[in-house]
Chain A
Amino acid sequence: MLSVNDINVYYGAIHALKGLSFHVEEGEIVSLIGANGAGKTTAMHTVSGLLRSKTGDITFMGESIEKMEPHRIVRLGLAQVPEGRRVFSNLTVQENLQMGAYIRPATQSREVDRDLELVFKRFPRLKERRRQQAGTLSGGEQQMLAIGRALMSRPKMMLLDEPSMGLSPILVQEIFSCIREVNESGTTILLVEQNAKMALSISNRAYVLETGSIILKGKSSELLDNEQVRRAYLGA
């Protein structure tokens, strides 16, 4: 469904991604794990078009997207929940969710309203706060809002960048079970996480990223038992 082949991304003189390749098949949850600065967010931003790769190619559902503008990539059905949530803090919760449905035409307004109710059903706390400015929400609520907002575009695939960041363990559990539900309802997931244990526990496959290249890949269950992964990322 998504295939990234040999991309090289630079920040000025810094070579952030060195020949990175990975792929995600339809229906999967794939996680990209690695330490701070390994290049995980850079990889996300390159897929969604916010950053450009110097070489290599990226295809999504058979279409080449490495030179496509971000707003067009979203229209193909690839939504991103960015690192640090990045909700629109001056807009209300409901307006944020409607913003997520920006690409859907006015003729779909009834379906959009129905999807809004589905998001509220999934996250009842957002419904309680629907008229509140998003900036006043707690971190966990903002994460829910960011996921809900991405769902509003009815994506075929969702990229999640560090959804566990800064959240309490209980909230992390909640967010991850929500990610699993989203996947079960038919959305393919690419998950970027520092929390390797959580990421490996819900994903089918995983890639381990270190200083811009993949150093390990495989089934998540096998990586959980891998000695190298256990030592470096699971603190065992």
Chain B
Amino acid sequence: MDFITQVINGLGLGSIYALVALGYSMVYGIVQLINFAHGDIIMVGGYSVYLVMVIYGLPVWVAIPVSIIVCALAGMLIERVAYHRLLIHNAARISLLITALGVSIFLQNLFMLIFGSDPKSMPTIFPAELIKLGSLELASSTVINIVVSVLMMMGLQLLVDKSKIGKAMQATSEDAGAAKLMGINTNKVVLMTFAIGSALAAVGAVLYSNTYPQIKPDMGNLLGIKAFIAAVLGGIGSIPGAMLGGYILGVAESLTKAYISTTLTDAVVFGILILMLLVKPSGLMGKNRKEKV
């Protein structure tokens, strides 16, 4: 029973990785950019919740939509200010990557300047309870994480498969030039992708601060890297892949903590990444992209 509890706890943690991984994966799928500032969007989301609930004393149902909107706008702003000109001029990937790192450093320092570098403790977002399922005892946050992440993924998949913007995203991701010839405004598609990915990161931020009620300006670093690993593990560009990668990573962490050593968890996570890159670099559900000549 203890083992099953650990697995479920791992899924709870993995749900957060998964939500963040979706953003990495979507953006990569559309513009082949690894948006290293994406992890910091979680931090922006965390501080938005903090600001609304602690500074303004407003209830949680105000804080969540505010955080989602702030993150979506931040994502769009980052695309417009930092990446847009590089993208339309087909800049080298390394330039994009360095820009992404720059944005990440900028965001962390901006928030350090405004809020200070010391951690802030978060108020209760959802009341913590123990949920009993037969002989299993689970924290309510774990159950919330899993349920919310699954709902989000289903919603996203529906959006991508059925909506007009979703179809435009699929077309742009496969062949941006051909998509333009269909009359698709690919600039808008890119912007929407950043908005949606960042909104999902905001949800991740809410779940994260509910599970670990503390925020600080550099909280996005490790969380972002782990979510990125989840995206690579699942196959970057694939929505179900990002989710699967997140869950696997969460479970691996949780089991390592329980049965091996708490200090080794990060080593195991990065070990999984190295192993995956050696065995199947395209990821579990990734497609082998054919290189255009």
A contact residues vs B (CB 8 Å cutoff): 48-50, 69-71, 74-75, 79-80, 82, 86-91, 95, 98-100, 102-103, 149, 153
Contacts and interface: CB of A to CB of B under 8 A. Distances in A.
B167 A50 contact: no
A153 B183 contact: yes
B171 A86 contact: no
Given A48-B181, A88-B170, A102-B168, A71 B175 contact: no
B183 A102 contact: yes
B186 A71 contact: yes
Contacts, number: 60
Interface of B: 164, 167-168, 170-171, 174-175, 177-178, 180-186, 287
Given A69-B185, A71-B184, A102-B184, A91 B171 contact: yes
Given A90-B170, A99-B171, A153-B183, 4 more contacts: A49-B180, A71-B183, A75-B183, A95-B167
Contact of A86 (B175, B183, B287): B175
Interface centre among A50, A69, A75, A99 (most CB of B within 10 A): A99
Nearest to B168: A102
A159 to B, nearest CB: 9
Contacts of A48: 181
Interface centre among A69, A79, A88, A100 (most CB of B within 10 A): A88
Majority-rule SS of B interface residues = helix
A88 B183 contact: no
A88 B180 contact: no
Nearest to A152: B182
B180 A90 contact: no
A49 B185 CA distance: 12
Given A71-B186, A86-B175, A88-B175, A79 B181 contact: yes
Contacts of A103: 182-183
Contacts of A75: 183
A49 B177 CA distance: 10
B170 A91 contact: yes
A89 B183 CA distance: 18
Contacts of A82: 177-178, 181
B267 to A, nearest CB: 37
B179 to A, nearest CB: 8
Nearest to B175: A86
Given A95-B167, A99-B167, A70 B175 contact: no
A71 B183 CA distance: 4
Contact of B180 (A70, A87, A153): A70
Contacts of A102: 164, 167-168, 171, 182-184
A86 B175 CA distance: 8
B81 to A, nearest CB: 20
B108 to A, nearest CB: 35
Contacts of B184: 71, 102
B174 A70 contact: no
B174 A90 contact: yes
Contacts of B167: 95, 98-99, 102
Nearest to A95: B167
Contacts of A89: 174
A86 B182 contact: no
A57 B258 CA distance: 69
A174 B178 CA distance: 24
A74 B174 CA distance: 19
Contacts of A71: 180, 182-186
Interface centre among B171, B175, B177, B183 (most CB of A within 10 A): B183
Contacts of B177: 50, 82, 86
Contacts of A49: 180
The 6 closest A-B pairs by CB, nearest first: A103-B183, A74-B183, A70-B180, A86-B178, A71-B185, A102-B182
Contacts of B182: 71, 74, 99-100, 102-103, 149, 153
Contacts of A95: 167
B60 to A, nearest CB: 36
B181 A88 contact: no
B163 to A, nearest CB: 11
A11 to B, nearest CB: 12
B282 to A, nearest CB: 15
Contacts of A70: 180-181
A192 B280 CA distance: 42
Contacts of A69: 180, 185
Nearest to B290: A89
A79 B174 CA distance: 19
A88 B178 contact: yes
A88 B171 contact: yes
